[in-house]
Amino acid sequence: SEHQHLRYNPLRDTWVLVSAHRVRRPWAGQVEKPPEEHIPRYDPNNPLCPGSRRASGQVNSDYDSTFVFDNDFPALQPDAPDPGSDQHALFQTRAARGVCKVMCFHPWSDVTLPLMKTHEVVKVIDKWAELVEELGSTYPWVQIFENKGAMMGCSNPHPHCQVWASDFLPNEPALSDRCQRAFHQRHGEPLLLQYARQEAEREERLVLLSPDWLVVVPYWATWPYQTLLLPRRHVLRINELTAEEREGLADVMKRLLTKYDNLFEVSFPYSMGWHGAPTGPHLEEDNSHWQLHAHYYPPLLRSATVKKFMVGYEMLAQEQRDLTPEQAAEKLRNLPEEHYRSREEQVGGGGAA
């Protein structure tokens, strides 16, 4: 906890430099603007609200639960032409096709996931599973991800995520697939299944533990309060979770995100995403080396207005962090699980739709 050292990330076959003593250095850098706390529940000009007209001219349904629509400005399209190839090893191109969807969690703009009721979060999980089932029948990769907060590039405060399906395996899951496969071949057990068991026994980096799930600050974490959410049994994809596991997941997600909000008493920004076994043409393959998991990458380091910057050494040499995973886990573990602002105060009273 006092001296710099390297830690190995087995999911990426990379090393992280941990320099815990640097967190005590004075900060005179950029200070972020605190996130807006008073968000209107309904704004007819917000393109994600029920009944609103989006930039494409499409009008949202008057939804009262989750709502999914095709992204109006998709990064991937199903009918993109083949760009051809230069036929030179240094100038390679290939076709990239897919679909991009937006999924609203709730009809109210001022309700984030930790403020939703557990049964409402279960509906979100059920819809994720539905989309993986639907898109995964065709595409080899379905990426569920949420960017929360302007600090993480989110341009709309309405609670939502995105789901992108691609006809190729992106870099991060391709690397993770390779590492998990190699570990399984050497040890005869999925990497993350063994890792979850070890973390549950050691308890050093444990944040939350339930009969079906655990949350840890991973041993190799890069972001200050990064967490890894894992099932405790062997599960390949989110659509394979039982009803009981989905209810347990909803509870654990709410508890984790409430802890995040309580850390600096602010609606905590982060990027999160689910990684599961490849789909599409890979469905018939042996993917027993895979284990379903979710990554949470929050940028805040010292306060609600001071974040971790991935620049300089991180961009040009390797990942580096100033707070040990054990210190981060202890801080998160000891935070209360009652939200720092009551639901009534946060969303103006009343029950959710």
CATH number at residue 332: 3.30.428.10
In a domain, 5, yes or no: no
Residue with tokens 């009981």: 244
Question: How high is the pLDDT of residue 302?
Answer: 87
pLDDT exceeds cutoff 70 at 342: no
Report how many domains make up the chain: 1
Total residues belonging to the chain:
353
- The annotated binding site is made up of 22-25, 55, 71-72, 147, 153-155, 162, 308-309, 313-314, 320
In a domain, 195, yes or no: yes
Question: How high is the pLDDT of residue 24?
Answer: 63
In a domain, 214, yes or no: yes
pLDDT exceeds cutoff 80 at 35: no
- The annotated binding site for UDP-alpha-D-glucose is made up of 22-25, 55, 71-72, 147, 153-155, 162, 308-309, 313-314, 320
Domain that holds residue 245: 38-80+93-344
In which band, very low, low, confident or very high, does the pLDDT at 26 lie, cut at 50, 70 and 90? Answer: low
Catalytic residue set: 160
- The angle at the Cα of 159, spanning 301 to 221, to the nearest 5 degrees, equals 30
| pTM tops 0.85, yes or no | yes
DSSP per-residue codes, 49-102:
STTPBPTTS-B----SS-EEEE-SS-S--TTPPP-----STTS------EEEEE
Q: How far apart are the first and last CA of the chain?
A: 47
- The angle at the Cα of 303, spanning 302 to 306, to the nearest 5 degrees, equals 75
When mean pLDDT is compared over 29-33, 245-249, 311-315, the highest value belongs to 245-249
Question: How high is the pLDDT of residue 353?
Answer: 40
In a domain, 127, yes or no: yes
